[in-house]
Structure 1
Amino acid sequence: MQLRQIKIHPKNKLHQTITTALFSTCLSLASVAAMAEVNDTQQASRQQMSVPAGNLGQTLTKLAYENQIPLAFDPALTQDIQNQAISGDFTAFELMDALLADTSLILTSSPDGTYRLLNQTDYTMSGLAISAKEISGALLSEYKGGQIESGGRLGIFGLQDSSEVPFSLVSYTNKAIEDQQLESIAEVLDNDASVQSGFGFGNYAESFMVRGFQLDSDAISYSGLYGILPRQVVSTNAVESVQLLKGANTFVNGVTPGGTGIGGAINLEPKRAEEHLNAITLDTTLEGQIGVSTDVARRYGDLNEWGVRVNALHRGGDSAIDNESRSETSISLGMDYQHEHLSIAADMGYQKQTIDAGRSVVYIGSALTQLSPPASWKNYAPSWANSELETLFTMLKADYQLSDNWAIKGALGINHNEEYGDYGSPTVSSEDGTATMYRLSVPYESDTISSTLGLIGDIQTGSISHQLNLSYSDLTYKTYTAYTMSGSSNTNLYDPVDGSYPSTTWSGGNMDNPKRRSATHNQGLSFADTLGFWEEELLLTLGLRHQTINVDNYSYDGDPESSYDDSATSPIYGLVYKASDEISLYFNHVEALQQGEIIASSESYANAGSNLAPYHSKQNEVGIKFENGTLGASAALFEITQPQAYAGANNIYDYYGTQRNQGLELNIFGEPLTGLRINTSATWLNAKLEDTQNGANDGNYAPNISQYRVVLGAEYKLPQITGFSLGGKIIRSGPQYVDSANTFKLDPWTRLDINARYQSFIGQQPVTWRLNITNLTNESYWASSKEGFTNYLTQGNPREIKLSLSTEF
């Protein structure tokens, strides 16, 4: 049993001077080196190889370059070391072993697929040292090409391999983020067909549909804790992996702050210092966005028990949308301490994003039944539309090994979030684009404290093993806001009118000192036992979670308005059967607990002013997984049901209807042919409405859900050009309805992205060039829709061309 690591984050607001100082420090620490990708044929096949006597560092550098091995090391390690001439039948790694045989140096591997030299006397981190005898297995474990991991964090279960759990779980690594130059979580999850992304209601918050159910950006967890990350958009520069759990997940993660996430969960893991690292990346876009990011890591102590990693990013300039500009500053500090029985980690982060003349969403009038998207680059937002998002967060985690079989773990995180936005989006009333525009200005602040405490253990009862998990979670989330709103002005979606800043017509609260609008307190206690039969060939997971949800709502003046206090218990059971070393079958039944609706006293229902009890969304799933080290594949059939509320008999508002999502998911990733890496997924959804009000929409498709999505991703290393890889992906999204009545239907769309990567040298310094083009054909399409108080559409982004140069030393 392995203990996990820990993290910290601050709560005080960082001023611009501190930001600049930290960023400058990172720049001064970072400099130049690069990764070259491994040519697997040359690694795995023995051939006649020879090297002359000479300087060991120069010999290793030449050998790595010729065999496309991403090797980096401190030149001081080999400065005075000479190697003897060697000749014989070797793989590239066997030859490196031979060259290092009479030295104190060892070759180590990193999770991102790179290799480094370390001095044995300084090296203590387990799981990284490799030799030629072990290298073939290490490479096979990277069938994902270093971009995908089949596993991730499963709440109270901790970090798990997908083949060991009865869930669909996949992770996208920092290598995928770097190689595709992915700047947001939505861009990362474009690689998975189960996820559809768009904007929040009138703002720039990333919003997701997973298996056809909404997951808001504030429902993304950070190393298992909710409420810690920035609320609207999360930068990827300090993220080690983006982990996607598909399906109902309240049991493993608890209730999200906003109650979304029935169809899946997203968890981000921070970067950790594994060895010395100095890296710098310069990037730009054709439109003028320019960025610089640094990544610096160190390990200290006699046993390398202390680790520090600093990431910094600044990027700004015009986007690919006309007249829109964005800037971003992000700084993170991760520290960890590793001891025989104790593991502690702390993380601090600061992020600020500014959006000017930002294109958000398009509201649609109730009479519309179709609407063509404008040109992909068209900006129908006014010049005064803007938003500034600033977040400071900190997290501390600790794991302690009580004995060989028992461990205790805990985490505490704090977040302070400040936003201000002048939002303006057109409300279209006619197919010719006739629209009106309002201004809504909103200051928003929030404070979150999130914590968890758990006990994990392994026991044996006869021939049956037990993996026990007992966990308590607590989240307190408070929001403060106010607003001013203007009257309407006329515009057109296809020929926008940019008027002056409109005057205020309505207002609520104090714009300079917004009052508390809500306070949420979620507590959960869960217990699970995973029983292993026949030497864990069969794994049965049983568990219960008791969740308490308390919500207090306030007027814009801070006066109590309504409250909600309820609890419920949700079960889970799952089964994994390992048919072979490569194939596992699984089944699960999970109930996702969600906060019930609060019926405002101003509503006309007979039960106005009351609260609906928490409700359960139920999931049944069966699937198969295949993993042989070179190729991974999975297939899953699932059904998720969610209660739907409306006014029934005697005008009582309650849960009477049901949304039933039935689906099929397919995934395949790995390296089926030498040099060819694939990441392909497909999802088909049959989402229907049942028992609707007066039967009006019975049998209709549930709105906002693409009926199918396919992502065909691939990358090929061209053997004719050393160090050159060419790749891309095709995304095909099927039709979807905007409304429950199924009168407004969006057309299917297709998007093509391409990327190229070239690893070379500038002088003696290895560098990596990356080119990425998103939406190569500049297609105009509606990427997603949302049904609500006012239905709205999110348009897909125009073509964007990104170029970067990165190096390590």
Structure 2
Amino acid sequence: MRQFLSTPGFKPTLLAIFVSAGCLPAMAATTTTPATPRAASDAAAAKQSDQTMTVVATPEDDFKPGGNDLVPAYLDGQVAHGGRLGMLGEQKAMDVPFNIIGFTSKMIQDQQAHTIADVVKNDAGVQNVQGYGNFAETYRIRGFDLDGDDMTFGGLSGIVPRQVMDASLIDRVEIFKGANGLLNGAATTGVGGMINLEPKHADDVPLTRIGVDYTSDSQIGTSADIGRRFGDNNQFGVRLNAVHREGETGVDGEKKRTTAVAIGLDYRGDRLRTSLDLGYQKKTFHDARLGVNVSGVDFIPSVPSNSHNYSQNWVFSNIETKYGMAKAEYDLNNYWTVYGGVGGQHSHELGDYASPSLTDANGDATIGRLDTNRIINNFSGLAGIRGSFDTGFVSHKVNFGYSAVTSRNNTAWRMAYGDNAENTNIYNTSNLPNPTNNLSGGHYSDPLTSGRTRTQGYLLSDTLGVLDDSVLLTVGARHQKVVVRNYSNATGAEDVSTRYTDSRWMPTYGIVYKPWQSISLYANHTESLQPGDAAPNTATNYGATTGIAHSRQNEVGIKADFDRVGGSLALFEIKKPAGILDSNNYYSMSGEQRNRGIELNVFGEPVLGFRLNGSATWIDPNMTKTEDGAYDGKDAIGVPRYNYVLSAEYDIKQLEGLTATALLNHSGSQWADSANTKKIDSFTTLDLGVRYRTKINQNDMVWRVGVDNVTNEKYWSNIDGTGTYLYQGEGRTLKVGVTYDF
């Protein structure tokens, strides 16, 4: 019942609960905050008993688009058909000419997701990719990379902790698909889409939840989630989340540790709404398996055993981040609202990385080392005013705003390569001494500034509605400016040859037509302007930002929302300047990647107690305008032509509170080099699980047991965008967790 009564932003106008005689004490009708706007799934928890529950509510009528109120959710509160559109705030997908979907904290809990990658695997349009020789989580949306560092937090760029973000601190994971320069202009990557993370704030119902979890081989975690509201009208809120998890994974000798805490404070007044979110996270990896460098061979090696570790016991990474965000909204009157926010982060990454460089099909390789000491300081902000008015029979929703993000990167490195590298084998690996460094860059103990970027822009948009808003035309433009400066990490002097500055107006326009209330037809054109890709650590210009990229997207599609089920179908084309390693290992933007594709999403509860979430993506990732036409017509590196995802949940009637779950992922083959001579095979994984909800002393207790990759499939999951590092997918993993609400 607690879950049913806890979704933010759902305030029913009438909630009448009738309890039949002999089941529970009679309850007076009340007004509260339920957890899922489509209450079918929560009613299923009571349908197997003798209770009679009737709910009459108008939850979505209370949702106010454009602000920070979260879009109501489907699927037992797991999936939301909508999310944050950057500076345009939270929006229902049916009302905007863009493609967006949100996954909630309930899905994070039910699937026992540890990081954001565990959440977004529920969408076929998002491909999980590891970093360039490190432990970073990177994502490909519509075939284009989005660095994990560039995800937005409450709509602000530059705040999310470096490389890997723990999912337990997050209320929503919202995926925007497509070029998003107008909406998220300050982001430095993400041409194919954007992932926005929403922090947790207190609900009207008090919450005290503790949890314990186990992940094979021997990771033990504990967590706490505490929320309270205070004041005569519950206007003050406090939400505290904390997690600690550590131990060995299913890879021999590999150890991971996470310590994270976040606090969210908020105020909800009649006109003023404010929030302050502060967080700390430290991620540690020891003896952890990285990728295999296949740039020196003309084949893809056989996949080693899932439990085999071809890393070394001196490999490690410590990533510590402090971050924060403050936001405010004030209603000038019933039609106009001013808003603003600032945020930032300070991250320190210290690591000793090593990936075997393959030399033959027997698995022989050499292994060196790369020591990295990196300090990152980001600051971002936004401010604006939004409002609504009518001109005759045309309604207007306008937004004028400014956003910017600045980043300073202090990086120093040391490495062992060439004659100093050790010999190893990826199938038969022994412990080796840490190689002696024979090359360095910068002051390792005290890194100097090696790069600065500043991205800023003004946004002006208007959504015009006619015919009772059955036709909605969105027109907008952003004047975007991007400044890139690179510096010598040895002397601090600027490298003027890699100085980049560019600015331009970027138009966006789109239209939504609703022939019926449950159907939306839409189309859009949008653009992005952002710093080019940073050169990978295999490039002679490692770390340098390679120019400025101007990207464009066109998209058409249809969306449906039938209350119990919803979905979308989209056709798109995106063009983006592409970075390529030349024969001298110099990385530059010397090509263009043109992705054309189709996306399908379906989700809902077609039968009471049976929930589905499915999606499919088909992409033609074509390279064009490459230097001397060398790779024209080839597929882009690491982009499968198709991906499928299907998840299902079934409430088992014979035992009240028991639910069976399944998640099937299938990825097509992908090319591992620009010439399309090396191919990674397709793969399929299946996750199965159960959860059981019961009560102890009138309080909710939920048990969750899941097995990821139940068939223990061996597969190469992805390769980085330069065709250098090949990464292995995770083997069979057991997850067990229990939460108890006081």
Deviations 1:28-81 (A, max 9, x none): xxxxx975999xxxxxxx9997324xxxxxx64xxxxxxxxxxxxxxxxxxxxx
Partner Cα distance (2:106, 2:412) in 1:
41
1:693 Cα deviation from its structure 2 partner: 2.8
Aligned residue identity for 1:109: P
**Structure 1 CA distance, aligned partners of 2:480 and 2:283?**
35
Superposed displacement of residue 653, structure 1: 11
Contact 1:365 1:429 in 2 (8 A): no
Q: Percent identity?
A: 40
Which one of the candidate residues 43, 54, 57 is aligned to 1:134? 57
1:685 is matched by which residue type in structure 2? Answer: I
Task: Say which SS state the counterpart of residue 312 (structure 2) adopts.
Answer: coil
In structure 2, what is the equivalent of residue 314 of structure 1? Answer: 244
Which structure 2 residues correspond to residues 469-508 of structure 1 after superposition, within 5 A? 469-486=399-416, 487-508=420-441
Q: Structure 1 stretch 510-519 or stretch 218-227: which is displaced more?
A: 510-519
- Write the deviation string for residues 522-577 of structure 1: whole angstroms up to 9, x where unpaired: 11111111111111110001111111111221112222223222212211000000
The answer on whether the counterparts of 1:155 and 1:224 sit within 8 Å (CA) in structure 2 is yes
Deviation at 1:513, TM superposition (A): 1.0
Asked if 1:199 corresponds to 2:127, the answer is no
Q: Which entry has the higher C-alpha Rg, 1 or 2?
A: 1
Shift of 1:618: 1.2
For residue 127 of structure 2, give the secondary structure of its aligned residue in structure 1.
strand
2:656 paired with 1:707: no
Q: 2: distance between equivalents of 1:507 and 1:517?
A: 14
Indicate how the Cα distance of structure 1 residues 462 and 198 shifts in structure 2: closer, same or farther if over 3 A, else same.
same
Q: Is the partner of 1:579 in helix, strand or coil?
A: strand
> Is contact 2:399–2:462 with CA below 8 Å preserved after alignment?
yes
The one of 775, 779, 783 equivalent to 2:713 is 779
Deviation readout 1:658-686 (Å, 9 max, x if unpaired): 32111011111000112110000000111
Q: In structure 1, how many angstroms separate the alpha carbons of the residues matched to 2:20 and 2:174?
A: 43
Partner of 1:380: 310
1:680 and 2:614 aligned: yes
Query: Which residue does 2:662 correspond to in 1?
Result: 728
Distance 2:305 2:487 in 1: 42
Query: Per the alignment, in what secondary structure is the counterpart of residue 218 of structure 1?
Result: helix
Q: Secondary structure at the match of 2:183?
A: helix
Q: 1:803 aligns with which of 727, 731, 736?
A: 736
Are 1:576 and 2:506 counterparts? Answer: no
**Inter-CA distance 47–396: structure 2 relative to 1 (3 Å threshold):** closer
In the TM superposition, what are the counterparts of 1:593-672 in structure 2 within 5 Å? 593-596=529-532, 614-644=548-578, 657-672=591-606
| Structure 1 letter corresponding to 2:57 | E
Alignment of 1:328-367 (within 5 A): 328-367=258-297
Partner of 1:179: 110
Equivalent residues of 2:17, 2:55 under 8 A apart: no
Q: Which moved more, 1:145-154 or 1:695-704?
A: 695-704
**Which of 244, 249, 257 is the equivalent residue of 1:327?**
257
Matches within 5 A, 1:517-596: 517-557=450-490, 558-562=492-496, 563-596=499-532
- 1:747 is aligned to 2:674: no
* Rounded Cα–Cα distance in structure 2 between residues aligned with 1:238 and 1:614: 33
Which residue number in structure 2 is paired with residue 242 of structure 1? Answer: 173
For residue 697 of structure 1, what is the aligned residue in structure 2? 631
The match for 2:159 is 228
Residue 186 of structure 1: SS of its match in structure 2?
helix
CA distance in 2 between partners of 1:37 and 1:47 (Å) = 12
- Which residue does 1:260 correspond to in 2? 189
- Deviations along 1:156-199, one digit per CA (max 9) or x if unpaired, are 21110000111110000000000000010111011000111121
- Mapped contact 2:18–2:54 kept (Cα < 8 A): no
Say whether 1:443 aligns with 2:359. Answer: no
**Shift, 1:427, TM fit:** 0.8
Contact 1:297 1:308 in 2 (8 A): yes
* C-alpha distance in 1 between matches for 2:482 and 2:457: 9
In structure 2, distance between residues paired with 1:180 and 1:220 = 21
Supply the AA of the counterpart residue of 2:355: S
Residue pair 1:112, 1:174 contacting (<8 A) in 2 also: no
> Are the aligned partners of 2:36 and 2:74 in contact in 1 as well (CA < 8 Å)?
no
Query: Counterparts of 2:375 and 2:465 in 1: how far apart (Å)?
Result: 47
Q: Is the 8 A contact 1:141 1:629 kept in 2?
A: no
* CA-to-aligned-CA distance 1:346-370 (integer Å, 9 cap, x gap): 0110001111101111110333222
Task: State how far apart, in whole Å, the 2-side matches of 1:145 and 1:349 are.
Answer: 28
Contact preservation (8 Å) 2:296, 2:357: no
String of CA shifts for 1:585-620, please: whole Å, max 9, x gaps.
0000111212257999xx999xxxx99874421111
Structure 1 residue matching 2:20: 3-state secondary structure: strand
Residues 282-319 of structure 1, C-alpha deviations (whole Å, 9 max, x = no match):
11123111111111111111221111010011111111
Is residue 564–residue 598 contact of structure 1 (8 Å, CA) maintained in 2? no
Residue 220 of structure 2 is aligned to residue 286 of structure 1: no
Q: Is the 8 A contact 1:354 1:388 kept in 2?
A: yes
Deviation at 1:374, TM superposition (A): 0.8
Aligned residues: 698
Distance in 1 (CA, whole Å) between partners of 2:390 and 2:151 is 36
The alpha-carbon distance between structure 1 residues 778 and 604, as it changes in their structure 2 partners (threshold 3 A), is closer
- 2: distance between equivalents of 1:744 and 1:319? 30
Q: Letter of the aligned partner of 1:204 in structure 2?
A: F
Q: How big is each residue's C-alpha offset from its partner over 1:703-750, in whole Å with a ceiling of 9 and x where there is no partner?
A: 110110000110100111111000111101001101111000111000
Secondary structure at 1:677's aligned position in 2? strand
Which runs of no fewer than 5 residues in structure 2 stay unpaired?
Answer: 7-15, 41-52, 62-70
Change (3 A) 1:740 1:365: closer
Instruction: State the secondary structure of the residue aligned to 1:482.
Output: strand
TM-score by length of 1: 0.82
Shift of 1:107: 4.9
Q: Give the whole-Å Cα distance in 2 for the aligned partners of 1:643 and 1:136.
A: 44
Q: Summarize the Cα distance change of 1:776–1:34 in structure 2 as closer, same or farther, 3 Å threshold.
A: farther
Paired with 1:510 and 1:653, the residues of 2 have a C-alpha distance of: 24
1:35 and 1:808 in contact (8 A); partners too: no
The CA deviation string for residues 372-398 of structure 1, in whole angstroms up to 9 with x for no partner, is: 111112111100000111111111000
Query: Residues 294 and 300 of structure 2 are in contact (CA less than 8 Å); yes or no, is this contact kept in structure 1?
Result: no
**Equivalent position to 2:199, from 270, 279, 285:** 270
Instruction: After superposing the two structures, state which structure 1 stretch, 175-184 or 793-802, moved more.
Output: 793-802
C-alpha distance in structure 2 between counterparts of 1:443 and 1:461, whole Å: 58
Question: Quick one: which amino acid aligns to residue 735 of structure 2?
Answer: K
